[in-house]
Homo-oligomer: A and B are copies of this chain.
């Protein structure tokens, strides 16, 4: 198995599958020190071509804005090597974008699996779902790993992406609602009253407010692209694009704020809601 572009999610997937007995390799050519840290002790090969040459299956896990470009790089490597692994695109993209990815990869001779991850990077004691769809979801559907659950949601490329677009709409959309609501409450000096009310009425949304909003802000460089994939998915389904276009704008503002400058790892330790909201009102 090859994990291409191993960020926090790809690295954790690699470790989960390796702990289940799968040989996992990656490529760190030209990647940042942070990515090298995240990849940890995964076996690193020199280049994308080497990964494509030695693997039966490879996965692409990148920010949604890069999904098609990365598919084109995989297709080029496949053509150069003559090796045609099964490719799973696990990116948070619309069914339409997934269709473009599949077209690029199938033209190079690859079998394509549509996949998407719901939940945090898998941990042995966690529960992360890997949605899968396609004519065949092998080998990904068969790789049980601690904390990682494969869920085949359909036989068409696009179904797994549609599932992710629908679940992420709720998980990430609620962060945008909370962010806007609590910035407004703080502006009016009623933050404590609002948090107290929401803690009663929506305890699961508010159990870790400071951390949740800090982490959302720290990921706001890539969230707008994912929200626009959701917007176009909803528009194509007849439900209108305006809501997630607006959510994208909320995260763009968060990215431009002081809170957007933190890494997700730094943000995960935030416990002071007032400080997080204050950082969200200041420019970087």
Complex Cα spacing A149 to B249, Å: 37
Given A159-B189, A190-B154, A201-B171, decide whether A180 and B119 contact each other with a Cβ distance below 8 A: no
A238 touches B281 (CB 8 A): yes
Q: Does A247 contact B (CB under 8 A)?
A: yes
Q: Does A237 contact B (CB under 8 A)?
A: yes
Stoichiometry, copies per complex: 2
By a beta-carbon cutoff of 8 Å, the part of chain A in contact with chain B is 95, 118-119, 127, 129, 131, 151, 153-154, 158-159, 162-163, 165-167, 169-171, 173-174, 176-178, 180-185, 187-190, 193-194, 197-198, 200-205, 233-234, 237-240, 242-247, 249-250, 253, 281
What DSSP secondary structure best describes chain A's contact surface?
Answer: helix
The residue in A180, A185, A202, A242 that gathers the most chain B C-beta atoms within 10 A of its C-beta is: A180
Within 8 Å CB of A176, what residues of B? 243
A180 touches B246 (CB 8 A): no
Within 8 Å CB of A119, what residues of B? 201
